[in-house]
Structure formats: structure tokens, C-alpha cells
Chain A
Amino acid sequence: MKTVIKTQGLSKTYTNTAVPVEALKDISLEFKEGEFTAIVGPSGSGKTTFLNVIGGLDKPTKGNVIIDDVDIASMKESQLFDFRLKHIGFVFQAYNLIPVLTATENVSFIMLLQKRPKEEMNKRAKEMLEQVGLGDKLDVRPNKLSGGQQQRVAVARALASRPDFVLADEPTANLDTESAFNLLDIMARLNREENITLIFSTHDQRVIDRARRVIKLVDGAVDKDETFDRD
């Protein structure tokens, strides 16, 4: 299987605090195409920092992040904007949909920034919303959707542009059990059907139980890296 992300000696130290904080310590990992990985660990273990660094939102203090044979750690900000847009899908804990856009427009938004043809955008957005069970909510704005529905729109948005991988930061943290299971079912199905690499940071056992690979971080370092056969 093709390696989608490779980190080499990744370290991140925050120096803008009273005492320098080592958030990531010498992390070297590889993520293969189609993997469903959960990054777990206690609060402050470096899960979100790791996602931010491999998502190009934050720069490592040391080490490399190789994606598509390119080290994104050495990219300029403007290159990173393009890179994120082309290669990475994001799902956030608080859904973060654009409140003034409808579900379809939210899902189309990334493709719009990618300058995809309008017909393709609309078709894909509709298809994705149908896949996440929101085919009847195409023209509804986020404030008329439940938390679970909003997160499903966010998942559709992240996957619609067919990124190389999706980073999901605690995506089920704000959801009730039914909505969380529903979302995980959808994401697992899309992972299989679209062969998209999914990397979650999570505390949620429900997510961990679905993941085929679980990486545990403790104090910014990899404590465990286990794979499971879930099929």
C-alpha cells in the first residue's frame, strides 16, 4: 500500500509559554492509503498538535512531514494553503460549518476553492450528502440541523473533494451515542468505499473500537502503535 504520510523525527516545542513545553518528541510514523487510525492519549499528550503539524496548520520545531514526496514542514504559508486545499480534509470537534451557507454550499465550498466545474461540484455535493443520509437537507442551513447532522455535513465536506487523507479532531466529542455511532458508520463506509485515509484524534472509546490502527501518545511521544483486524 502507498504511504500517504511519513513523519521523521517530528518534534514540536512551544516556547511562548513560561516554561518551554515539548508537545511532540521525535515521532516517526507512516500512514498508508486507506488506513483508519485513531490517535489516542490523555489530554495534553500531543494528539491535536500532531494533527495540526501533519495537517500543515503548525510547523514542527524539528523533523519532517512527507506527503506526496514533499516535506510540508519546509513549505511557505501560501504553499501550505494550496497544499491543504488539494490534499487534506478536515473534520473538527465543533463541526465548524459556515452558518450562512446551505448544506450543499458548505459541502461544495472546498471544491469551489479548488475551482472545480459547477456541475461537478453540485453533483458531488448532492452525492455526498445523500451518502451521509442528508439527501433531504440539501438546502438547509446549519442552524436548522442537529449536532449529528451538522457533523455529517462536515464529514461530507471533508470527503467531497476526494483528499488524500482526512484529519478528524475529536469528531464525536459533541455527539450523543446514536449520532456518534451513525457518524462512525458513515465514516467507516466512506473509508472503505472511497479508500480515503482517516486519522482521528480521540478520547472516544467508540471511535477507538472502530479504528484498525490505534496510536497512543503519552507526553508527546508514541507509547503504543497497534493494528487490529476489524473486518
Chain B
Amino acid sequence: MPILFTFAWRNLWRNRRRTLITVSSVLFTYLLAVALLSFMGGFQQQMTESLIRQETGYLQIQDALYLDEPSMDHIFDHGEEVSDVLEQFGDKIDVTVPRIRGFSLAAKGMTTRPAMVAGIVPEKEDKLREISSHVTKGKMFSPGDDFAVVAAGLADLLDISVGDTLVLIGQGFQAVSATGKFQVGGIVELNLPEPNNTKVYLPLERAQWYFDAGNRLTNLLIMPHDTKRISQLATEMEENLDREWYAVRTWKEIVPDMVELMEMQRLVYSLITWVFYIIVGFGIFGTILTMLYERMREFGILLSLGMKRRKLALVTLAETVSIGLMGVAAGIVAGIPLILILIRFPIRFSGEMAAYMHDFGMEAVFTFSMSPGLFINQGFIVFGITLLIGVYSMRKIFAMNVLDAARS
């Protein structure tokens, strides 16, 4: 049997250039696919990280109805029951970040603008997104302070600055009228345009007072130590809460549109990858067909001599699969260092692209991700394609008329 593999191997190198070109096409397609998917993985990871840190956290405790109707009427009591659960799962939780927020009207003098009033604890927020470092004028409030920090865009719209008085009018808990006057103590520059034009930050207790919410929160963000098992943690925590009143949501439940968008992105990238694979598949197919047809006579002779179709088919399969395996092996050898380099030295953006990425709260770099699955999955796909082509050549051998082939 080894001579049959020797036979297959030597057949591959009959036309050295053709084999090398085919192997190279597999190699480059594999590399391109791996790089593309690695970039997609990195980009999505960056986007998810940004979203989780800016907005959702990995998990949130909410009122059971808040997800369907996010209003001030569906805020939850941050009392003993919730504290007990947080204590019970304390070893699994890294940080919790309490927030209360609701729409109001913000006014200075005769100018009024819609605002999103958010009660926060800056020390806790900083662990997620370093909001204090984005304060461009004045300062971020500390415990005991009683002033507002206004987003830079809204400050411009209201023509308000540090030391001015901001008037807020809105709706509080259970339709209570929420009104308040707050001194502006700081201006904060936010990355995304929408929050930058609407956000007003208050110390959590002051916001709870403003909304007449007692110690209630709209959401309590949870950052667990193990971010891979958030669904399991959510279920476990929820089992210890009264489900009539509380819900523990994962970030995917909170922003399904974003998850859908990411799925779409993944689909588009997969489609692009498959287009590459189809192109290279036809390349390999063409080479294999050429190798097959130019040796028809030889195959006929081998069968005439008594070689079994099965053995001959295995030889052709071995040739096809070898091309795929050589391409994939070369791809892995070249791909791992390439991706490691791209992870270590990510591509940085400047100018408009950088500004655009900053607007979305992301760092202006092309980040790449690497997982063994990335290389293995692509390897299996290429192997599958070559196997499919190999099966076609096997079928040809089985369908071949020995005499016609020998005469060809």
C-alpha cells in the first residue's frame, strides 16, 4: 500500500508548478478567511465590550416588566431581597453598578431640551467606563456632592456651563411630578452623539430623590468574573428572586437588535468567506479535472493491468486531499504568526475613521481575535471542499470505461 501513496505523491509533483499554484491558492484563501474571521471576531469583541461597558453590563437586575416597558413605573426596589442575592453570589460577581434613569426636560433660562437624567455612582461607573476621565470642565461628583454633570453636547445646546443652574422637569415614580434645580458642577464629553446631546448625570441618591423613587433603581448592572457563563448565572440568581417582581437579564436579552446586527455581520463575513472558498474550490476542481483527464489513458492502462477501481480511486482521492492538506498546513504555519502579530500590533486608525469609531465608543484600532476554533474550523472546511472534489474524481474513476480510457 505505501507505494500507492508514493504513486499519489509523485503524481502531485509531475507538474510541480501547477501543484504549487493550487496549494498556494488554498493557502492564500485559508489565510484570507482566517484573517477576515479573526478581524470580525476582534471587531465584534470590541463592539460587545464597548456596549457592555457603556450601557448594559453583562447582566442586569431589573423589574420584571422593565424590559417590555422601560418606564419609571417599572423600577425595582434595591432592598434586602436583592442585597441577599448579591451577597449569595458575591464570589461570582466582580462589580455591580446601580443606575436610575428617565426622560425629563432640561432648561436654562428660556431654552429647553429633552434630557436623559441618570443617577449614577461614579466610583462604580469608573470601573466600567472611566466616565470621570471624560469630564472636560469642572469635576465629577463624589459622595456627598450635590451637583449635576451635563454632557458636552447638551451643555452646548442649553448654553450652560459650570456654575450655572439647570432646571429639570419630568415624571417620577408612579406618575409623581419630578422637578428639581441643580447646579452644574461638570461637563462630560461622551463618545456617542445621542447620549452626548441628552445626558444629565446626578448622584444616585439625588436622582432617586428627584424621581421620588426611594431606593429604587431602573437597573443594576452586574459584571461577573466568568463572562462565559452569564446565562447560567442569570438563571441561578433569578431562582433566588421573586420572579413576579424581579428579572435578571443578560446583555443579549437587553439589546436583541444589537445581537441580531452582530449575527448579520457574522453571516455577511461567513458569506464572503464562502465566496472565497467557492472560488478556490473551483480552482482546485479545475486542477484536479485537468490531472484526471490528462491521465485518462494511464488510468485505463492501470485498470487493464488489473488494478482495482477502488485502489485507483483512493490514489486520486489521496492526491486531492494532499493538495488541500498542504494548503491548510501552510496556512496554519503562516496564519498563526500573522494573527499573533496583528493582535500584538493592531492596525491603528487616524482622521475621520478614528473619529467615527470614537463616536461609537470604540478604540480606533482594527483588533483581531484568535481562537483554536478559528484555525480548526477553516481547516475542516477546506478539507471538506477537497474531499468533495476528491469524491468527484473517485466517481469518475468508478464510471470510467476501461477500454475507452485506455484508447483515449
Q: Which of A76-98 contact B (CB under 8 A)?
A: 78, 81-82, 84-86, 88, 90, 92, 96, 98
Q: Shortest CB–CB separation between residue A37 and chain B, in angstroms?
A: 20
Q: Given A100-B10, A100-B11, verify A84-B403 contact (CB < 8 Å).
A: no
Please tell me if A21 contacts chain B, counting CB pairs below 8 Å: no
Question: Which residues on A sit within 8 Å (CB–CB) of B303?
Answer: 81
Please tell me if B301 contacts chain A, counting CB pairs below 8 Å: yes
Question: Which residues on A sit within 8 Å (CB–CB) of B304?
Answer: 55, 57, 84, 90
B308 touching A81, Cβ below 8 Å:
yes
- Please report the C-alpha to C-alpha distance between residue A82 and residue B309 in the assembled complex, in whole angstroms: 11
B307 touching A101, Cβ below 8 Å:
no
Q: Shortest CB–CB separation between residue B323 and chain A, in angstroms?
A: 16
Please tell me if B7 contacts chain A, counting CB pairs below 8 Å: yes
Of all chain A residues, the one with the shortest Cβ separation from B303 is A81
Of all chain B residues, the one with the shortest Cβ separation from A78 is B308
Question: Which residues on B sit within 8 Å (CB–CB) of A58?
Answer: 403
Please tell me if B298 contacts chain A, counting CB pairs below 8 Å: yes
A-B CB proximity, top 9 nearest: A85-B306, A100-B10, A96-B301, A84-B306, A81-B308, A57-B403, A100-B11, A113-B307, A81-B306
- Please report the C-alpha to C-alpha distance between residue A67 and residue B273 in the assembled complex, in whole angstroms: 58
* Majority-rule SS of B interface residues: helix
B305 touching A110, Cβ below 8 Å:
yes
Question: Which residues on B sit within 8 Å (CB–CB) of A110?
Answer: 305-306
Question: Which residues on A sit within 8 Å (CB–CB) of B311?
Answer: 113
A-B contact pairs, 18 of them (CB 8 A): A55-B304, A57-B406, A81-B303, A81-B309, A84-B304, A84-B305, A88-B306, A90-B304, A92-B406, A96-B298, A98-B298, A98-B302, A99-B14, A101-B7, A101-B10, A109-B305, A110-B306, A113-B305
B306 touching A82, Cβ below 8 Å:
yes
In the complex, how many residues of chain A place their beta carbon closer than 8 angstroms to a beta carbon of chain B? 25
Question: Which residues on B sit within 8 Å (CB–CB) of A90?
Answer: 304-305
Please tell me if A52 contacts chain B, counting CB pairs below 8 Å: yes
Interface size class of B (residues with CB under 8 A): 20 to 34
- Please report the C-alpha to C-alpha distance between residue A17 and residue B213 in the assembled complex, in whole angstroms: 96
Please tell me if B110 contacts chain A, counting CB pairs below 8 Å: no
Q: With A78-B308, A101-B7 given, can you name 10 additional A-B contacts, CB distance below 8 Å?
A: A52-B403, A57-B402, A81-B303, A84-B304, A99-B14, A100-B11, A100-B13, A101-B10, A105-B3, A110-B305
Question: Which residues on A sit within 8 Å (CB–CB) of B297?
Answer: 96
Of all chain A residues, the one with the shortest Cβ separation from B13 is A100
Question: Which residues on A sit within 8 Å (CB–CB) of B309?
Answer: 81
Please tell me if A138 contacts chain B, counting CB pairs below 8 Å: no
Q: Given A52-B403, A57-B402, A92-B301, verify A98-B308 contact (CB < 8 Å).
A: no
Of all chain A residues, the one with the shortest Cβ separation from B12 is A100
Mask for B281-306, Cβ within 8 A of A = 1, else 0? 00000000000000001100111111
- Please report the C-alpha to C-alpha distance between residue A100 and residue B6 in the assembled complex, in whole angstroms: 9
